[in-house]
């Protein structure tokens, strides 16, 4: 007991000394500086080419030659495939022969018609004979016209045996092999898919809670997993109003254009989009806590600026806020005009100049200048580890 009493007395003395130390108070400030104010909406989407064409054929036949393969760069009007032409050439020759036969029949009946018409006008032949001649003439004329149309179709089908690229681009898909038969029916037989990789777009899915803030022309940045260190840029070109509902989540498609000179972006990549629904550059900014600061009285604190009189509430209207500006050893309540805000920072339109010092709060410092809290001698201590 004699040993414990002096120990308790010593601990009480230490605690009393610690409690008697006076804490100091420091004023937190921030400088009004220029910067960029942004507010963003995030979304995911899929990279697509702006122009992508399925190249097919309108005639039935066997693939004879292929001049393009996967990743081939093709130009508009370039020959990329041929279908075997033997049957198509035969159809054209047959159509030409039919035209010649129909022409001869037509010219023969035309001569008869002119002769019988002259005789009928002089009432040298009966109406029946003239009508028969006129009918033969009209039938032969129709047959001649049909034969000419068949020839045009046969010639066109022969031209379709040569398939040309409709656009400048890159072959991203080839659906046929040499020797394969393609059948033209109601659906055009697809041979290639050609995409223009110079101009890409991202179809992003934006949540219904954010779609109201997305507008055409807004700046967009996005990344893809294939190039995690690259940041691509684009802009909103279309906001589609047709909703998509999946698992009770409603989203809307937003189209973002993106130039692709290096051809890094390829169709099908997943993109992580950041849409800048608000972006103001080179504006004077203040943090939100500058508008909630209120001066307090610390009688024992030294070197704190003295707060002046607050501005009357009548001077605060729409777009007006009051802040406390540090002017030497004084706090001056100042009215400023504010603009847009993203909840973290607010644009200052007028009222203070660049570099103005604005109070944001107080910070209590422990005695001795440190800001770490002091420990109590009565607090339980963690168990000590056994040293090996």
Quote the CA–CA distance of 8 and 101 in Å, as a whole number: 131
SS3 88: helix
- For 70-102, write each residue's pLDDT tens digit: 999 999 999 999 999 999 999 999 999 999 999
What's the rounded Cα separation, in Å, for the pair 132 and 247? Answer: 76
Given a cut of 70, whether residue 141 has pLDDT beyond it is yes
Does residue 380 register a pLDDT over 50? no
What Å distances lie between residue 90 and 49, 86, 93, 162, 366, CA to CA? 41, 6, 5, 16, 102
pLDDT in tens, 278-329: 888 899 999 999 999 999 888 777 788 888 888 888 778 888 999 999 998 8
pLDDT tens-digit map of 200-231: 999 999 999 999 999 999 999 999 999 999 99
Backbone phi and psi for residue 297, each to the nearest 5 degrees, phi listed first: -105, 120
- Provide the total of helices (H) and of strands (E) in the chain, helices listed first: 3, 20
**Torsion over CA: 80, 86, 91, 94 (sign):** positive
- pLDDT of res. 107: 95
Q: What residues contact residue 305 under an 8 Å CB cut-off, 6+ apart?
A: 27, 326, 327, 328, 329, 330, 331, 359
């Amino acid at each position: 007991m004699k040993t414990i009493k002096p120990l308790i007395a010593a601990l009480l003395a230490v605690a009393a000394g610690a409690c008697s130390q006076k804490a100091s108070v420091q004023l937190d400030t921030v400088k009004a500086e220029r910067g960029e104010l942004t507010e963003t909406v995030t979304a995911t989407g899929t990279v697509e080419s702006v122009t992508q064409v399925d190249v097919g054929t309108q005639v039935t036949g066997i693939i004879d030659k292929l001049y393009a393969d996967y990743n081939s760069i093709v130009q508009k009007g370039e020959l990329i495939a041929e279908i075997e032409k033997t049957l198509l050439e035969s159809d054209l020759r047959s159509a030409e022969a039919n035209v010649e036969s129909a022409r001869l029949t037509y010219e023969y009946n035309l001569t008869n018609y002119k002769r019988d018409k002259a005789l009928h006008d002089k009432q040298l032949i009966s109406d029946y004979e003239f009508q028969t001649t006129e009918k033969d003439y009209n039938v032969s004329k129709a047959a001649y016209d049909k034969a000419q149309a068949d020839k045009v179709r046969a010639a066109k089908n022969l031209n379709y045996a040569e398939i040309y690229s409709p656009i400048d681009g890159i072959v991203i898909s080839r659906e046929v092999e040499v020797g394969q038969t393609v059948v033209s029916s109601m659906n055009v037989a697809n041979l290639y898919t050609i995409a223009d990789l110079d101009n890409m777009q991202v179809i992003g899915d934006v949540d219904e809670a954010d779609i109201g803030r997305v507008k055409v022309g807004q700046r967009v940045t996005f990344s893809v997993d294939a190039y995690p260190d690259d940041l691509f840029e684009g802009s909103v070109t279309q906001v589609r109003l047709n909703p998509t509902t999946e698992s009770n989540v409603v989203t809307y498609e937003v189209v973002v254009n993106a130039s692709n000179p290096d051809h890094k972006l390829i169709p099908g990549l997943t993109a992580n989009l950041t849409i800048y629904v608000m972006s103001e550059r080179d504006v004077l900014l203040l943090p939100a806590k500058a508008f909630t600061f209120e001066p307090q009285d610390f009688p024992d604190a030294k070197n704190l600026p003295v707060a002046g009189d607050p501005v009357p509430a009548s001077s605060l209207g729409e777009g007006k806020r009051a802040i406390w500006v540090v002017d030497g050893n004084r706090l001056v309540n100042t009215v400023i005009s504010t603009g847009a805000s993203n909840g973290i920072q607010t644009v200052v339109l007028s009222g203070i100049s660049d570099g103005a010092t604005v109070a944001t709060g107080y910070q209590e410092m422990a005695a001795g200048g440190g800001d770490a809290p002091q420990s109590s001698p009565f607090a339980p201590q963690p168990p000590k580890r056994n040293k090996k």
